[in-house]
């Protein structure tokens, strides 16, 4: 791995973290009126996987999607305007945080109905595959989504048709407040579930961005060489409440010590320490990167706040019924 790439990965981690932290700071002003799911603690998954995606590749995500949109090349001003409900938002201000969509970067959408984006991603991939076998689709979802029927139907279909799909499961151990061990057999991994559908699948630590990058690269090469879909299960952890900007330790659903363990494995901290210890970056370079990111975020928030709300005439636009 060359140093330019290392710095790119590190910058992306810092950027996604900083953006979500700023949303948290501003959320209490009540100007962003959409439910918002944060992925603080889970950033290495989006950063490590998306670093392999090309502009023409499709990406689809669910309710916890800021990092996926940004890492796929989405526009920060358009994302912030969307959270503020403004017409300059990537979904025209009608979608909010859970419905980001931006065809200009082939980010084909987010849907908070758990599991629903998995068949949408596979269907889009199938349509695309007929025209261009090399275009890949990355589908991001959580461990809870693997408990839906469509997860299995979609993996089966993708496998049978050898579709170029990368399924990325961010296994953060919880579906809202219910732990994985109460929902799925402990002796069977999500990667193994995918293998039973004939996919190549790997379970990997999701906190170390270089590990994510390496395994995602191998899997994506497999897909791009026409050998069919893959699934990457990444072990990670959500720091904040399921939906919203607060901590939820008072709810007592997390076992003693679990939260502290995962915070000690913060993907940003781990990579910063590694980069500094191995001499790939200096403290001054990190400060300069952070300042640049902060300035970019300031500009995006100004754009969002100063943009107009959609006109009433747009109320019924882009509504489809069958």
Ligand X SMILES: Cc1ncc(C[n+]2csc(CCOP(=O)(O)OP(=O)(O)O)c2C)c(N)n1
Q: Which residues bind ligand X (CB under 6 A)?
A: 63-64, 112-114, 141-145, 172, 174-176, 242
User: Using CA atoms, how far apart are residues 180 and 278, in angstroms rounded to an integer?
Assistant: 36
Among residues 112 and 310, whose Cβ is nearest to ligand X? 112
Pairing assessment for the beta strands 178-179 and 174-175 based on DSSP bridges: antiparallel
Backbone dihedral region of 60: left (phi > 0), alpha (psi from -120 to 50 degrees) or beta?
beta
Least distance (Å) from ligand X to the CB of residue 107? 17
**Could you tell me if residue 213 is left (phi over 0), alpha (psi between -120 and 50 degrees) or otherwise beta?**
alpha
CA atoms within 13 A on the CB side of 198: 14
Residue nearest to ligand X (CB): 142
Nearer to ligand X, 106 or 146 (CB): 146
Cα gap 68→138, rounded to integer Å: 10
In angstroms, the CA 145 to CA 173 distance is: 12
In angstroms, give the least distance from the CB of 238 to ligand X. 6
Nearer to ligand X by C-beta: 26 or 63? 63
* Least Cβ distance, residue 63 to ligand X (angstroms): 6
Residue with smaller CB distance to ligand X, 164 or 245: 245
Minimum CB distance to ligand X, residue 240 (Å):
11
- H/E stretch holding 191 reads helix 190-196
d(CA 98, CA 92): 13
Complex with ligand X: residue 12 or 172, whichever CB lies closer: 172
Distance in Å, CB of 144 to ligand X, minimum: 3
- State the alpha helices, DSSP H only, in 115-148: 117-131
Residue 213 to residues 38, 150, 163, 274: CA-CA distances in angstroms?
Answer: 22, 28, 22, 15
Q: How far is the CB of 120 from ligand X (least distance, A)?
A: 13
Rounded to a whole number of angstroms, the minimum distance from the CB of residue 215 to ligand X is 20
Instruction: State the Cα–Cα distance between residues 55 and 192, nearest whole angstrom.
Output: 30
């Amino acid at each position: 791995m060359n140093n330019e790439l290392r710095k790119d990965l590190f910058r992306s981690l810092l950027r996604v973290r900083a953006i979500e932290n700023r949303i948290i700071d501003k959320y209490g002003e009540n100007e962003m009126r959409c439910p918002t799911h944060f992925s603080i603690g889970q950033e290495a998954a989006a950063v490590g996987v998306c670093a392999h995606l090309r502009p023409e590749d499709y990406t689809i995500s669910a309710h916890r999607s800021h990092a996926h949109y940004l890492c796929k090349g989405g526009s920060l001003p358009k994302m912030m305007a969307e959270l503020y409900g403004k017409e300059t938002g990537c979904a025209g201000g009608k979608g909010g945080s859970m419905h980001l969509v931006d065809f200009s970067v082939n980010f084909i959408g987010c849907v908070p109905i758990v599991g629903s984006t998995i068949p949408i991603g596979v269907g889009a991939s199938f349509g695309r595959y007929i025209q261009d076998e090399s275009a890949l689709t990355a589908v991001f979802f959580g461990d809870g989504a693997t408990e839906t029927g469509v997860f299995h139907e979609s993996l089966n279909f993708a496998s049978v048709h050898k579709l170029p799909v990368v399924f990325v499961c961010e296994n953060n151990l919880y579906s809202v407040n219910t732990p994985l061990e109460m929902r799925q057999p402990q002796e069977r991994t999500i990667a193994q579930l995918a293998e039973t559908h004939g996919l190549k699948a790997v379970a990997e630590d999701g906190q170390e961005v270089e590990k994510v990058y390496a395994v995602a690269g191998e899997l994506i090469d497999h897909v791009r060489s026409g050998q069919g879909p893959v699934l990457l299960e990444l072990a990670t952890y959500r720091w904040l409440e399921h939906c919203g900007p607060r901590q939820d330790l008072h709810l007592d659903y997390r076992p003693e010590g679990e939260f502290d363990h995962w915070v000690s494995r913060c993907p940003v901290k781990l990579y910063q320490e590694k980069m500094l210890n191995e001499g790939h970056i200096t403290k001054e370079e990190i400060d300069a990167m952070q300042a640049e990111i902060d300035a970019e975020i300031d500009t995006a928030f100004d754009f969002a706040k100063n943009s107009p709300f959609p006109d009433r005439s747009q109320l019924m636009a882009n509504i489809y019924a069958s």
